[in-house]
Amino acid sequence: MHKTAKEHGLARCPKCHKLQPAIQNYMRCRRCHGHFYLRHPRSLQYTLAWTISALIMFVPANLFPIMIYYELGVAEPMTILEGINSLIEADMFPIAFIVFTASFFVPLAKLCGLIFLVLATYQKLTFSRVYSGKIYKIVEFLGPWSMLDVFVVALSGALVKFGIFTNVQPAPGATYFTLMVVFSMFAAHSFDPRLLWDKKNND
Amino acid sequence: MSNEHIACPRCDALYPALPLKEKQIALCSRCGCKISEAKADSINRTIAIAIAGLLMFVPGISMPMVGATLVGQHAEVSLVDCLVMLLQKDFLIVAMGLFLFTIAIPAIRLVTVLYICLAIKRNQVNQTHRQFFRSYHFLDSWAMLHVFFLGVSVALYKLAEYADIALNVGLAMFVGLLLCSIFTHITLDHHYVWETLEQASDA
C-alpha cells in the first residue's frame, strides 16, 4: 500500500527534507547543496562499529572512579555505581533513581537497542517495524541524557573547594564516560531507520 | 514532481504534499512519525525568542549559578568556572564536551536561527543562508543545556546534605537561556524556512 520515495526514484535530503530524483546513491542536494546518500551503503557497519566502541568505553567508565571525594585530607574515589550506592545509603532515593537511570541503565539500554536494531535489519527479522522504529526514536532521544553524571562531576568539582575540609575532584572515569556518550550518539546517527522498511519490500 | 510529494523521514513512505493549514500536523500513517507541521507566526516568534536567548546567553554562562557555604567558607560557581576547573585539571576531553554541548552549540544555533529569520523577514535571502541553516540541522541533537540543568539540580541535592546552598542570578539566566533554546526549536517552521530559501534563490 505504501510506496517509498526510493521506489519512485526519489531521494529525500536528510537535512532539508527536499525530495529529488535519485540520480545516484551519493548525491548533492539541489536545495541545501549538502551531500547525502539515498541509503548509506555501510550504515549498519558504522552503527555496529560505534556501538562496539561505546561498549568498550563503558567498561573503564564504570571501573575507574568518576570523582574523588576528599574529606579532611582523606581521599575517597567513587565510581558511578558507588556514587549511586552512597545516595541510597543516604536515603536519597529519587535522586539515586535519576542518576542510576541516566548514567547506568540508559547507556546500556541504548547500546542494547542499537545492537537489536542492527540485528533486526541485518537478519530481516519479521519483527514489527513500527515497534523497531519506536525503539530507534527512543534511542535517539535518550542520547544526550547520559552526560548527566559528567556535568554533575564538573559542577561539584568547581563548587566544592573548601580546602582541607571537603574537596571534590574529577577522576579519569569522567573522560571515558564522555567518550562513551559521544560514541553512542554517533552510533545512533549512523543508523538509517529506513533500512528497516526497505527489507520488508524485498521479502 | 519533487515539490508535489513529501517522504516520511523515518520510513521513507511517499505521500502527496497537501497544503497544511496553520497549526496542522502531517503524520506518517505507516510508522507514526511527524512529517511536517505548519506553525503559527513562526518567523516573528522565533526572532523574538532568539533575541531573548542571546541576551541571556552571556550572563547565563558567566554569572555564578549556585553558591555553597561550608564552615564559614563561601564558594560560587558558573558554567565557565566548571570549564576552567576541568582545563586546569587536564580533563581536556571532558572540557571539550562541556564547552561544545553547553556553550558553543547552543550559541551557534541561536545565532543561526536569528540570522536566517531576520534575512527571511527582510527578504534578503541568498545562497549562504542555506549553508547556515544546514549547520543548524546538523547540530540539532548536540545541544545539552537541559541535561546540564538536571546536572545542576542533582549536584545541589547531593550537596544540600552538608553545605548551605544558595541559588544565584546566573541560574535564572541559564534557565531562561535553556527555555529560549527549547522554544526556538518549537516555534521554528523548518519546512517553511526551506521553501522560502529555495524560492528566493530560484527567483
pLDDT for the residue numbered B201: 65
- The answer to whether the CB atoms of A154 and B85 lie below 8 A apart is yes
Query: Are the Cβ atoms of B11 and A102 closer than 8 angstroms?
Result: no
Structural domain range at position B128 = 41-202
A172 and A187 within one domain: yes
Q: Which residues make Cβ contacts (< 8 Å) with residue A179, sequence separation at least 6?
A: A57, A61, B93
Q: Are residues A173 and A191 in the same domain?
A: yes
Coil vs helix vs strand at A1: coil
- B70, pLDDT greater than 50: yes
- Same domain? B75 vs B9: no
Categorize the per-residue pLDDT at A203 as very low, low, confident or very high, splitting at 50, 70 and 90: very low
Does residue B78 share a domain with residue B161?
A: yes
B37 near A CB under 8 A: no
Question: Residues 115-134, chain B: which have Cβ within 8 Å of A?
Answer: 127, 130-131, 133-134
- Check pLDDT > 70 for residue B202: no
pLDDT tens readout for residues B83-136 = 999 999 899 999 999 999 999 999 999 998 999 899 988 888 877 888 888 888
Q: Which pLDDT score, from 0 to 100, does residue A99 have?
A: 86
What residues contact B184, with CB distance under 8 A and at least 6 apart?
B46, B49, B50, B53, B109, B110, B113
Claim to verify: residue B53 and residue B147 sit in the same structural domain: yes
Instruction: Report the gap between the CA of B75 and the closest CA in chain A (Å).
Output: 6
- Is pLDDT of A200 > 70? no
Q: Per mean pLDDT, which range of A116-125, A140-149, B168-177 is the poorest?
A: A116-125
Q: Is the pLDDT of residue B172 over 90?
A: yes
Nearest by CB: A158 against B7, B77, B146:
B77
Q: Hey, is the C-beta of B21 within 8 angstroms of any chain A C-beta? A: no
Q: Are B193 and B46 in contact (CB under 8 A)?
A: no
| Minimum-distance CB partner of A133 among B10, B138, B143 | B10
Whole-angstrom distance, CA of residue A168 vs CA of residue A155:
10
Please answer yes or no on whether A170 and B91 come within 8 Å at the CB atom. yes
For the cut 80, the answer to whether the pLDDT of residue A4 exceeds it is no
Is the confidence at residue A6, as pLDDT, over 90? Answer: no
pLDDT > 50? residue A95? yes
Q: Do B151 and A129 touch (CB under 8 A)?
A: no
Average pLDDT of the residues of chain A:
84
Together in a domain, A185 and A115 = yes
| Pairwise CB contact (< 8 Å): B14 & A136 | no
Look at residues B57, B50, B82 and name the one whose alpha carbon lies nearest to residue A151: B82
Of B8, B12, B65, which to mutate for an interface test with A (greatest number of A Cβ within 10 Å)?
A: B12
Give the pLDDT score at A1. 55
Residues A15 and A104 in one domain: no
On average, the pLDDT of chain B sits at 86
Q: Give the count of domains, chain A.
A: 2
> Do A34 and A112 sit in the same domain of this protein?
no
A55-65 pLDDT tens trace: 999 999 999 99
The total number of structural domains in chain B stands at: 2
Cβ pair A155:B30 closer than 8 A: no
What's the pLDDT at A202? Answer: 46
Q: Among A8, A111, A107, A114, which residue's Cα sits nearest to residue A66?
A: A107
Residue B98 and residue A154 in contact, taking contact as beta carbons nearer than 8 Å:
yes
| A170 and A73, same domain (yes or no) | yes
Q: What is the domain extent for residue A64?
A: 41-202
Give yes or no: residues B120 and B189 share one domain. Answer: yes
- The whole-angstrom distance between B42's CA and the closest CA on chain A is 17
More confident call, A203 vs A148: A148
Q: How far apart are CA B88 and CA B83, in angstroms?
A: 9
Q: Based on the domain organization, do A90 and A187 belong to the same domain?
A: yes
Q: Given pLDDT bands bounded at 50, 70 and 90, which one contains residue B58?
A: very high
> For residues B163 and A49, which has the higher predicted lDDT (pLDDT)?
A49
Give the Å distances, CA to CA, from A186 to A38, A83, A152, B100, B149. 19, 27, 23, 15, 23
Q: SS3 for B89?
A: coil
- Report ipTM (2 d.p.): 0.86
Co-location of A169 and A83 in the same domain: yes
Least confident of A42-51, A124-133, A151-160, B14-23: A124-133
Instruction: Answer yes or no: do B50 and B146 share one domain.
Output: yes
Question: What residues of chain B lie within 8 A of the CB of A31, using their CB?
Answer: 130, 194, 197-198
Residues A34 and A110 in one domain: no
Tell me: do B110 and B72 sit in the same domain: yes
Q: Which residue of B has its CA nearest to A87?
A: B158
Min Cα separation B131/chain A (Å)? 7
- Look at B2 and A33 and tell me if their CB atoms are within 8 Å: no
Place of cell 530559501: B197
